[in-house]
Structure 1
Amino acid sequence: MNTRPSFDDLSAFVHVAKARSFTRAAARLGVSQSALSQTVRALEERLGLRLLTRTTRSVSPTEAGERLLQTLAPRFEDIESELAALTALRDRPAGTIRITAGEHAAVSVLEPSMNSFLNHYPDITVEIIVDYGLTDIVAERFDAGVRLGEQVAKDMVAVRIGPDMRMAVVGSPGYFQRHPKPTTPHDLTAHNCINMRLPTYGGLFPWEFEKDGREVNVRVGGQLVYNNLALRVNSALAGLGLAYMPEDQVLTHVKAGRLCRVLEDWCEPFPGYHLYYPSRRNPSPAFSALVTALRYRVA
């Protein structure tokens, strides 16, 4: 009987130990959680060591598991990098690219680019995960992430993929029949504002303004809190409060008279979205093709 661990067994352990979760690791590997758990238990039995400490809420490596993880993880990353580089020998770029992005970046920049890109590269699969948290793309095994230019870490490669942005504060005509229009950001504290909660901030997102070099952050209050673009727009259209939105998401409604814009002189442009990723010696042809396709070109 062969008691030596297989490559697949060790890879399964590395995925679980890095993800700290059987559920997340199983999703990435495309297997069931029960099958993955059985694989890791069998590995532990063959080694005669407990590698993971399991509770109802979390999974963490034991001392032996941490030692094994530190030994194996860099080697698996080297193997995956070299395998990805081998796709350069193919006639066409191929493979799966995983990107994490906020909802607005996904709908305004990434999704509009997918039609022409995927038609041109039929062997490439792009997985876009919408997440408002500032995801650690290395730990979570993403190929890249999308953030505003001012949020990209200095140790990452950053490629601009969108124009400068502006925010807009909007409300319905009906709302402003019942409430005076704010003339300064601080006036918003007297209004019913539609808030947004972001996991990274651990609370409600402050509304950020700037005018003549003066920056003002206002923590507004209101009866509604969302983490979704469409719901905030719909509630503003229904007259339920003021919304603070990316300009491109509301301009059509403003031009049609369905929404009224206020504090426009306090909403100055700021750096738009960037694709960011760790420096790689040999990026795959598929990833290089995506970066080229998404790169923003000033008209």
Structure 2
Amino acid sequence: MLKENINDLLSFLVVAQESSFTKAAAKLGVSQSALSHSIRGLEERLNLRLLNRTTRSVSLTEAGDRLRQTLSPRIEEIEEELDALNEEQNGPSGSIRISAPEYAAQNILWPVLEKFLVQYPDIRVEVNIENSFTDIVAERYDAGIRLGEQVAKDMIAVRISPDLKMAVVGTPSYFSNREIPLIPEDLHQHRCINLRPSTAGGVYAWEFEKENRNINVRGEGQLIFNTTTQSLKASLAGFGVSYAPENLIKGYVKEGKLISVLEDWCPTFPGFHLYYPSRKQHKKAFALLIDALRYKGA
């Protein structure tokens, strides 16, 4: 029975992961009708309905969810063992999936990958830019990247960056007819370019601290973005002050394009970490990437 079902079971897993026949068919390289026929045949042989289908969505039945939970880890184990055998024969290979916020992907992950992928041409890396908190286990990522304070305690975390210091910046022309803010509360007199992270419904409150005094400020302005990159671009265009990682703005400050203010109030956050489930055994390719990303500073 397994022989006649194995391909259909693999197809079922992809549909379950994608929650869509359209996306699953594209991933498998088959037509939607062929995929639907395959799943229908599997359900008939098992005498079980595995999927709830509507014109707009696909969801798992209770039996389908049980089958997914049983199959998924076993298929992953088989894939990992095949990768391991291939590595022994041909060197490091395989695929690595990582979820990362925009800033970390651009400024920490990519500079390492640019050299790493040249050194290991048989390793494939998929990076999904996600500023929200993704369940890397449920979404079948090998790892995620987040600030140290955001990593769950049940995960293994590897530091991949120094601590992150924030900055408040605006252009010289913006400040030419406005008073420089000396304390965080002065920002209420300025046009603040705000952030609304995907992880929260509200506008992000800018965090400040000095001499054991903590202040959160929600300023007003014309613009709200969900990425720091866009906020910084608006600030460079003269639309107001933005709150961004110091690493992103220091070049502009050095060139005189931006002025950094409230420096003695801007806090430092724990640096970015690569994190992954403690119970999962990873292949050699993943271990090599961890070593390449590991922060080796003081």
Whether TM exceeds 0.5 here: the answer is yes
Q: Is the 8 A contact 2:207 2:267 kept in 1?
A: no
- Partner of 2:10 in structure 1? 11
Q: What are the residue-to-residue correspondences of 1:188-207 with 2, within 5 Å?
A: 188-207=187-206
Cα offset, 1:138, TM superposition? 0.8
Gaps of 5+ in 1: none
- Partner of 1:217 in structure 2? 216
- When structure 1 is superposed on structure 2, of 237-246 and 12-21 the one drifting more is 12-21
- Partner of 1:61 in structure 2? 60
Question: CA offsets per residue over residues 167-192 of structure 1, 9 Å max, x none?
Answer: 11101111112332222222223321
Amino acid at match of 1:31: G
Cα offset, 1:32, TM superposition? 5.6
Q: What are the residue-to-residue correspondences of 1:152-231 with 2, within 5 Å?
A: 152-231=151-230
| Residues 102 and 112 of structure 1: CA distance in aligned 2, closer, same or farther (over 3 Å) | same
State how far apart, in whole Å, the 2-side matches of 1:183 and 1:50 are. Answer: 65
State how far apart, in whole Å, the 2-side matches of 1:280 and 1:122 are. Answer: 28
- Partner of 1:31 in structure 2? 29
Partner of 1:254, secondary structure, is helix
Question: CA offsets per residue over residues 83-102 of structure 1, 9 Å max, x none?
Answer: 33334423310011111101
- Partner of 1:75 in structure 2? 74
Amino acid at match of 2:194: N
Q: Is the 8 A contact 2:147 2:273 kept in 1?
A: yes
- Partner of 1:264 in structure 2? 263
Partner of 2:187, secondary structure, is helix
Instruction: Give the fraction of aligned pairs with identical amino acids, expressed as a percent.
Output: 55
Q: Is the 8 A contact 2:197 2:227 kept in 1?
A: no
Cα offset, 1:116, TM superposition? 1.7
Amino acid at match of 2:137: V
Partner of 2:282, secondary structure, is coil
State how far apart, in whole Å, the 2-side matches of 1:187 and 1:93 are. Answer: 55
Question: CA offsets per residue over residues 145-172 of structure 1, 9 Å max, x none?
Answer: 1000111111111001111111111011
- When structure 1 is superposed on structure 2, of 151-160 and 231-240 the one drifting more is 231-240
- When structure 1 is superposed on structure 2, of 125-134 and 174-183 the one drifting more is 174-183
Q: Is the 8 A contact 1:133 1:200 kept in 2?
A: yes
Partner of 1:203, secondary structure, is coil
- When structure 1 is superposed on structure 2, of 170-179 and 62-71 the one drifting more is 62-71
Cα offset, 1:133, TM superposition? 0.7
| Residues 183 and 42 of structure 1: CA distance in aligned 2, closer, same or farther (over 3 Å) | farther
State how far apart, in whole Å, the 1-side matches of 2:203 and 2:74 are. Answer: 41
| Residues 91 and 145 of structure 1: CA distance in aligned 2, closer, same or farther (over 3 Å) | same
- Partner of 1:101 in structure 2? 100
Q: Is the 8 A contact 2:198 2:226 kept in 1?
A: no
- Partner of 1:233 in structure 2? 232
Cα offset, 1:224, TM superposition? 1.1
Cα offset, 1:266, TM superposition? 1.1
Amino acid at match of 2:252: H
Cα offset, 1:244, TM superposition? 0.7
Question: CA offsets per residue over residues 97-140 of structure 1, 9 Å max, x none?
Answer: 11110111011101111122111111111111111011111111
State how far apart, in whole Å, the 2-side matches of 1:235 and 1:18 are. Answer: 38
| Residues 141 and 9 of structure 1: CA distance in aligned 2, closer, same or farther (over 3 Å) | same
Cα offset, 1:227, TM superposition? 2.7
| Residues 61 and 180 of structure 1: CA distance in aligned 2, closer, same or farther (over 3 Å) | same
State how far apart, in whole Å, the 2-side matches of 1:286 and 1:124 are. Answer: 7
RMSD: 2.3
Cα offset, 1:23, TM superposition? 5.2
- Partner of 1:245 in structure 2? 244
User: In the alignment, is residue 151 of structure 1 matched against residue 147 of structure 2?
Assistant: no
| Residues 228 and 87 of structure 1: CA distance in aligned 2, closer, same or farther (over 3 Å) | same
Q: Is the 8 A contact 1:171 1:239 kept in 2?
A: yes
